[in-house]
Chains A and B, each alone.
Chain A
Amino acid sequence: MDLFNFKKPEHFFVTGEPMIYMADVLIVLTMLGIVFVLTYYKKWRWLWDEWLTTVDHKKIGIMYLISAVLMLFRGGVDAVLMRTQLALPNLKFLNAQHYNEIFTTHGTIMIIFMAMPFIFGLMNIAVPLQIGARDVAFPALNALSFWLFAAGALLFNISFVIGGSPDAGWTSYTPLAGNELDPGPGENYYLLGLQISGIGTLMSGINFLVTILKMRAPGMKLMKMPMFTWSTLITSIIIIFAFPVLTVALALLTMDRLFGAHFFTIAGDGMPMLWANLFWIWGHPEVYIVILPAFGIFSEVISTFARKRLFGYSAMVYSMVAISALSFVVWVHHFFTMGSGPWINSLFSITTMLISIPTGVKIFNWLFTLYKGRIRFTTPMLWTLAFIPTFLVGGITGVMLASAPADYQYHNSYFLISHFHYTLIGGTVFACFAGLIYWWPKMFGFKLNERLGKWSFWIFIIGFNLCFIPMYLIGLKGMPRRIYTYPAGLGWGTWNMIETIGAYLMGIGFAIFVYCIIYSIRHGERDTTGDPWDGRTLEWSTSSPAPEYNFARIPQVNEIDAFWYRKRNKAMKVEESKPLKPIHMPNKTGLPVILSIFMFIAGFGFVFEWHLIGIIGLLGVLGCLAWRSLHEDKGFYIPVDIIQQTEAKWKKVSARGKSITS
């Protein structure tokens, strides 16, 4: 390892692909455009003060959501490119290498850089408000989590124009992902991008665990928490115990690739299968990390729009606890076919099937909540109602896959692809749409247009089923995943064409959704009351958007669905008579951004094996940590008169809103 040897990679900038050149031009133009707008409108200061240095969980949540929607676009474009290539047999739209890169980035981005930040965005927005807290336990750490995620995502995403994308699949199986078969920076980007954002995720897990356990409003016992908060708590626990495994696995493969270690190589007596083992010890809990918050969102939406308390609250909680434990003992079902013996496969078959029991309990609870409810078919409710049958299909095909002998047939076929898209799209993505629309007024003070929202829902849902139902069939007909083309005459052509049409419809659905946002910014119905859906939980008891301090007075909780209870029992008036006190808030800080920039520099250096740059970046990180240790934030107080002014303004607007509607 020579520190001063800056080995030049074969291609620094990726060349030779017209699409990549187009992307280059677009990236440069977009960046110039952003710089121009910020400079022209003199917004640099605003950007730094209001967003880059903020520690407010609501703003951090919004930044997570913006990144997630951008990544949904990027991952979606990858998907559409793949579907275009596969629309007909023997197409030459993408070559094999390019196709490999695109399915790799599609999978990685959708899981790590789309689903995760989407979920974290919604948690950040909703959880402190739901438990009646003024912020999370460690606000600066929360900002650092976001900026580390952003640094990791940026590092991963620049790979396609600088140095080349990773191309060994989102699972990055060795020995394919090792140095011998896959030299160059591509896989390094995968390893370091995931490593950096993974560290941020672990911190978020700790942060939300402590927040939920220690900062609930008085009277909110654990069994009186809103279901989304419960799901966040369980998710945080899974994150804390699963993410370190990913950290280690990535670090070991990085050592293989950069420093000649032999963990997963064929040479030196390494064990390539050990990677699959470690990857899925993290990877399976990860699936529950993105699905449990989705369950939480659906529970909130169903209960709100069926206007009923959630059926079987405690059964919901216990089933999530059961899922969290079971999620750590099923990982082998991802590689039944790697040659583990019958004992191993049998045990993991059984544990996998066991998970369907608590999940089934949840499905029945949602159905019973709907039963005899006074249902309002709003857009979030439509996404939720679509979720139940969709996820059921995904879940039941999962039980089919869990049977080890049968899995030898399904493994690596499009049957599997369809199964996990039914769970991940039908579960997580539907929940992201539902949650985003549901909490949108709380973030921005206006509702998204319902008519456009329903259009986007119906087109997306039709497209989704057109795209993925045929994949089950074609998988059973033997079409394997990750092939970039196929010959004519196998009977796959028609189905593939239908799938591609479905994928384009999903793209159109997404585009309508984006248009719906832009349209609603101007024309959306303003939310003056803070409670646009006749909600049940505490986040609807404060103004929309919520003030910096969330609640002028910390609410007292007596029941599940505390706000609903208060509305029915006229407890609002009593609360408002309590005197206001100055509110203690944390100061904003630029440190998370600066630390993440150093982390990015370190990551970039190691990607190209420029170790000196990598070490400089790491030293910068350590320096930031030491600086923080020596500069303890004491926070500041918001004085009573400012709180009074803010509250009075909301009350005035709210009263005017009520007189217009009545």
Chain B
Amino acid sequence: MFDFADYGELLALVHNSLLAGAVLGVVGGLVSTFVMMRDLPFAVHSVSELSFAGASGALLLGTNVVLGSLTGSVVAALLIGLLGSRARDRNSAIGVLMPFGLGLGVLFLALYKGRSANKFGLLTGQIVAVDTPQLSWLLATSAVVLVALAVIWRPLAFASADPEVAAARGVPVAALSTVFMVLLGLTVAMSVQIVGALLVLSVVCTPAAAAMRVTASPRLVTGLSVLFATVSVVGGILLALGSTVPISPYVTTIAFLIYLGCRAAGAYRRRRGWTAGVRFVQDERAQPSVPSGV
């Protein structure tokens, strides 16, 4: 399964993919924090199906695949934002959109007469496929998402945690929700290029879900989430290089293992009481000291 001979030469070939993967890790890790706080994993999946439809439509028409994927996911994200402000409405809107998007995508791929590897890549990810124009698109999209997030970060976090109090403090809760859906759409479209439409959640949900298991500090959750996403994507690319299997199983497996580890660590921390570390030190101090040499 693995063959790491000529690894150095391969590495040079996938330089673009690695850079794209690292950037996606940062953006995906940041966005996944809000995906978890706003309870949007299901929406992410639906957006990625429509992103897939957009990309396969572009493939069929012979136009820019990244642009097609961006269009599909931003339209889907805005539709979800418009159709459902309440969780219940939102879930039904998502449930309706998702099969429609996937159906469209399948139709476009069925009509497409080009290389079949192109078709499969959109669903399950590809590795050497990131060429320079594609990379430019990805970098530009990331820059937009990062700058926008830096501007709206604090009000968005407030509105995600407590919309009622945030609105009382003058935060434009509804407008922020729309803006975030657009940013989510952009991020999903980027992820579709690397890990494929079916596996986007491993980049845009799992990292923060794992981080939130082990800490409640917002800064630490964000940092860990970025770290986990980057390790998953870049690690997945590096492992896939030496094998014949596509990149996505590696990415998803690394992400899943990180999640399992965090869940176990979180369960342990909770069982001991969240402040276990502090108490442990105090307990030790309270113990009578054991004479040395006994």
Is chain B found bound to chain A in the same assembly? Answer: no
Residues of B at the A interface (CB closer than 8 Å) are none
